[in-house]
Amino acid sequence: MEKTHKVTVTGFGDICEFAEGLGWEDPDLDKDGEWTPDMADATEESALDFIHAKGYVLNQVGLEKGAA
């Protein structure tokens, strides 16, 4: 039986930090120094995709590994 892991995330920073803890690398979309809302969305989507690929899904409580 797979162990369930729950992590509470409250926003962009928590999502990125949790993904980095799993091995995700920030795509560094603001190399030219201009940070736009679209870049923030793309970074967050990249982190969420990585988290999902590791078997975690977002739920109302936080992140739960192995739940669908």
pLDDT at 60: 47
Q: Regarding predicted confidence, which is higher, 57 or 35?
A: 35
pLDDT at 64: 63
Per-residue tokens: 22: 């799993």
41, 29 Cβ separation under 8 angstroms: no
For residue 6, report the phi and psi dihedrals to the nearest 5 degrees. Answer: -120, 135
Q: Specify the residue for token string 């969420």.
A: 48
8-41 per-position pLDDT tens digit: 777 888 889 999 999 999 887 777 778 889 988 9
Provide the 3-class DSSP secondary structure of residue 39.
Answer: helix
Q: pTM of the entire structure?
A: 0.74
